[in-house]
Amino acid sequence: MITEEKNYIFGIRPIIEAVHAGKTIDKLFIQKGLHNDLFAELWKLVRVKRINYKHVPLEKINRLTKKNHQGVFAFISPIDFHNIEDVIPSLYEQARNPLVLVLDRITDIRNFGAIARTAECAGVDTILIPEQNAAAINADAIKTSAGALLRMNICRTWNLKLALQFMKDSGLQLVACTEKTQDSMYKPDYSSPTAVIMGSEEDGVSPELLKMCDARAKIPMNGKITSLNVSVATGVILYELIRQRKKYER
């Protein structure tokens, strides 16, 4: 059964049909130990379509619905996701100076929505998020984004590291917004194609992604509190980037 108001679906056959109909599955919960012929058909689709899934206890699915779910429950995304490998060449073909915002393990829905709103206002071309450890794009996220999530290209990838390498190979510089540097956010030259990476509020940008970056940028702190909310920090660095690009346009 599919419920449009809540953007979820449950039951093996309904989920199979939803996938065949082109619905974008945001997250699929599968009961641990589930095995039968019908599920085998769904599992094949999960692997082929690379659907984001998680094995969970039966109790988890029972909390999501009291109806006959057959051990599977899926959230349907209200948006369609894009591939960064398609978006970057398209931006160059349009003679744009690509600006990509990469969100590394930002899982809070309200932060994500606020970031998307700022990104749209700042003219970001696309937001790139990982399949795992990313905020759900649901009604709350869209509301917090003031509808920006419905207007922007949102890309998802199973391997953020490979996606970043693709962007580097495509001529984008990678700039990490991080406290783990002495370089001010005013130091990098943002006039060229750029991907700005924002990390989780708990521990920032992942070390393996930091190693890939061409530059690191630290937001100056003059108060006693030494960090900003990630959505606020995103706005600060994006508008410094815009300031620089406007200067070069003169």
101-143: per-residue pLDDT in tens? 999 999 999 999 999 999 999 999 999 999 888 888 888 888 8
The pLDDT assigned to 78 comes to: 84
Domain boundary among 76, 95, 114: 76
201 or 248: which carries more pLDDT confidence? 201
Mean pLDDT for the stretch of residues 49-75: 91
Tell me: do 67 and 91 sit in the same domain: no
Tell me: do 37 and 103 sit in the same domain: no
Q: Would the pTM of this model clear 0.85, i.e. be above it?
A: no
Tell me: do 72 and 89 sit in the same domain: no
Tell me: do 146 and 60 sit in the same domain: no
Report the mean per-residue pLDDT for the chain: 90
Tell me: do 122 and 235 sit in the same domain: yes
Tell me: do 186 and 145 sit in the same domain: yes
- Over residues 29-43, the pLDDT tens digits come to 999 999 898 899 999
99 or 131: which carries more pLDDT confidence? 99
Tell me: do 197 and 180 sit in the same domain: yes
3 state SS for 161-214: HHHHHHHHHCCCEEEEECCCCCCECCCCCCCCCEEEEEEECCCECCHHHHCCCC
Q: How confident is the model at residue 4 (pLDDT cuts 50, 70, 90)?
A: very low
Tell me: do 14 and 122 sit in the same domain: no
Residue 86 has pLDDT above 60, yes or no: yes
CATH of the domain at 32: 3.30.1330.30
The pLDDT assigned to 203 comes to: 87
The pLDDT assigned to 216 comes to: 95
Tell me: do 39 and 147 sit in the same domain: no
For the ranges 11-25, 93-107, 205-219, the lowest mean pLDDT is seen at 11-25
- Over residues 44-60, the pLDDT tens digits come to 999 888 888 889 999 99
The pLDDT assigned to 248 comes to: 65
Tell me: do 48 and 100 sit in the same domain: no
Domain boundary among 57, 76, 95: 76
- Over residues 183-242, the pLDDT tens digits come to 999 999 999 999 999 999 888 999 999 999 999 999 998 888 877 899 999 999 999 999
Of 81, 119, 79, 82, nearest to 103 (Cα)? 119
Residue 249 has pLDDT above 70, yes or no: no
Residue 2 has pLDDT above 50, yes or no: no
The pLDDT assigned to 5 comes to: 45
Domain boundary among 76, 107, 141: 76
CATH of the domain at 139: 3.40.1280.10
The total of structural domains in the chain comes to 2
Tell me: do 65 and 137 sit in the same domain: no
Q: Between vectors from CA 211 to CA 209 and to CA 217, what angle results, nearest 5°?
A: 85
The pLDDT assigned to 250 comes to: 56
The pLDDT assigned to 1 comes to: 42
Domain range for 62 is 2-76
The pLDDT assigned to 194 comes to: 97
Burial of 130 (0-12, 13-18, 19+ CB in 10 A): buried
Tell me: do 90 and 207 sit in the same domain: yes
